[in-house]
Chain A
């Protein structure tokens, strides 16, 4: 049974409405792999790894979003289990502390039937001085099918992917990319707004150190959104003007008439004089308040990758307000990761 059809039959519905109306281009229709005739429908995703949004085509992205859409429906049922990853081993290798991303990948893997192992770096041989490549070789010898990696160094996940035989998913590498976050953000936006093309998205905060910002800039631009970044100059990377975004230093100007206000998390240790003088100054000029949010469109939606610093980059009234999508983003996170895992599993041997 085709995945989509199965989901529909299980949920008793016909899928979400925008897929019928809002998105004329459906990747599944355009991409027809030669082995399509066998039981499962394929997700048109021709990559072995997911290392970043960079390198993905618009169609690759849409294929993942469409598949994630179905995973949302599945996840809302009582019976959430599928078996596409049955017998597969998924290792979550997090060199950086994470709660929601790691849990999200774990749930996604389990819902697809995989055996999921969480490697806690705190107790691992990494702490004993093992190099990244040695760790990769060790894990590779255990014959996993998918490794989910988060690392504090940009490029570390790509390096690891070259040393293993399985699929690798980047769950955040340094200040480089966090592709599943960008995908889940796009899914969240598309479900609420029915489209991404033509929307004005203001990404606000510590852009310089944010992998979420980089992935989102790439993905949202690829899908036709107008992307702005809003931050004090000390939190903007050099050359940002040439990265296809509009740059604003003033919050009110930056979020004026925006459809989406996407706040970034602030690393508090950067906030005591190194990049920004103080938390209170940052909150005053760059924190999202109800008053500043009035400059965005009346139906603007507020997003945040979490965890939030209440009263710093976002005040509670906004984070918990009617325009906030913060909790919905978490739900979409599981769905997007299910889609990614399934898409990559198509390339696994056997």
Chain B
């Protein structure tokens, strides 16, 4: 973040969307010292201080910056795949103003010193806010609980073993029990690894025709159901990182109805794509959990619209060409997504399935609430983390133009609408 930015910036003539209140209005936002000072129809060029930098948005949407709960930033240990500099550039270009760095690095973020390392690297190299998440278990091995208290004191905002599901129920119970003492958030990607076996895509006709082994949706729902029973025993804040099917939605719906302290999310990929997109073994669409049938995708979209799904994240997972240019079964899981997340989400708005407010709510307000962050809303005194975009503006995704160090986008050549024109973090323009 540069210090040369003007003291105060105003975005005027905008279509303001506050996903926290659900309000949309024509008007402007005045920011100074990194926070929102005023917003609404009254903020016009006429009543702004003379030294403020005024940006006329020409009716574009201005909304809170996005918050992404899982971004693999490559540091430490996988700088050939991504760095904090490249990930944050991609984030800024994609309108993501807060990234939660995933702990599945080398070494893993299971020691307070690594949290400190990330914070120092981010201070020097990141264009957006970077928060560290830390491992639930040491080395993400699912055996011994990590130093949740010390990691939280060091600044970790949540605990996750990423795509490693905790197989041992006793370990999961102890992790939830221990985390509760610190009011720490456990974010778990549930999967029964024995049932998933060596599966590489959704179990079903497509997998059978391709001759690939499948992962049934029940593998996710069974583990999730177990987790809900454990949460019921001990309490503690639990976030189901990625739901991929209606079976899992049912589990979460029941848990929420029972009043458990549970939230859930999915990825933009699972909302945008289905197993047919794998086509003839496109490894960029090999994801964990796997893309499922179109009916399941639509169930997820409806759950997003209804609010059952709280959060949408990119699960930004840059992979080297060499780990993707392999037979499907041997290729790595994962796709990048920071830069295309908003546009892909806007497809659901254009199709009429999800309102713009709900989409932005799931991309900013809800993750902020879950992490107890002040951003993700238009409010006086809230951080001036803002984005500007024209939801109608068409463009074609060109992987060579993406900022991420790796180019494994599942949206290669996709026609999108709504590219981010301007990104502001703490009142400073970092993109556009």
A interface residues with partner B (beta carbon < 8 Å):
232-234, 249-250, 272-278, 280-281, 284-285
Contacts and interface: CB of A to CB of B under 8 A. Distances in A.
B320 interface: no
A273 B138 CA distance: 8
Is chain B's binding surface mostly helix, strand, loop or mixed? helix
B282 interface: no
A64 B122 CA distance: 65
B177 interface: yes
Interface in B164-197: 174, 177-178, 180-181
Contacts of A272: 144
B134 to A, nearest CB: 11
Contact of B149 (A273, A274, A275, A285): A285
Nearest to A277: B147
A273 B145 contact: yes
A233 B147 contact: no
A233 B178 contact: yes
A249 B149 CA distance: 12
Contacts of A284: 149-150
A206 to B, nearest CB: 14
B396 interface: no
B180 A277 contact: no
B150 A280 contact: yes
A277 B177 contact: no
Q: Which 10 A-B pairs have the closest CB atoms?
A: A273-B144, A277-B147, A281-B147, A249-B181, A233-B177, A234-B178, A281-B150, A277-B145, A234-B177, A234-B174
B107 to A, nearest CB: 15
13 contacts: A232-B178, A233-B181, A234-B177, A272-B144, A273-B138, A273-B143, A277-B138, A277-B145, A277-B147, A277-B148, A277-B178, A280-B147, A281-B150
Contacts of B178: 232-234, 276-277
B108 to A, nearest CB: 14
B234 interface: yes
B146 interface: yes
A250 B143 CA distance: 25
A50 to B, nearest CB: 35
B411 to A, nearest CB: 40
Contacts of B146: 273, 277
Contacts of B149: 277, 281, 284-285
A272 B139 CA distance: 13
A293 B145 CA distance: 28
Nearest to A275: B174
Given A278-B147, A280-B150, A281-B149, A273 B177 contact: no
B32 interface: no
A273 B170 CA distance: 12
B137 interface: yes
Contacts of A278: 147
B144 A274 contact: yes
A321 B291 CA distance: 63
Contacts of B148: 277, 281
Interface string B123-165: 0000000000000011000011111111000000000000000
B93 to A, nearest CB: 38
A348 to B, nearest CB: 47
Given A273-B137, A277-B145, 8 more contacts: A233-B178, A234-B178, A272-B144, A273-B143, A273-B145, A274-B145, A276-B145, A277-B147
Interface in B192-242: 234
A293 B180 CA distance: 24
Contacts of A274: 144-145, 174
B49 to A, nearest CB: 47
Contacts of A234: 145, 174, 177-178
Nearest to B175: A234
Nearest to B170: A274
A276 B146 CA distance: 8
Nearest to B148: A277
Q: In the complex, which of the residues B178, B180, B234 has the most CB atoms of chain A within 10 Å of its own CB atom?
A: B178
A275 B178 CA distance: 8
Contacts of A273: 137-138, 143-146
A274 B148 CA distance: 13
A277 B146 CA distance: 5
Report which residue of A250, A272, A273, A274 has the largest number of chain B beta carbons within 10 angstroms of its beta carbon.
A273
Most chain A CB within 10 A, of B137, B145, B146, B148, is at B145
A232 B147 contact: no
A234 B430 CA distance: 44
A27 B173 CA distance: 47
A278 B110 CA distance: 12
A280 B154 CA distance: 14
Nearest to B181: A249
A79 B350 CA distance: 97
Contacts of B137: 273
A225 to B, nearest CB: 25
Nearest to B138: A273
B145 A232 contact: no
Nearest to B233: A238
A274 B177 CA distance: 12
B322 to A, nearest CB: 34
A46 B191 CA distance: 59
A233 B234 contact: yes
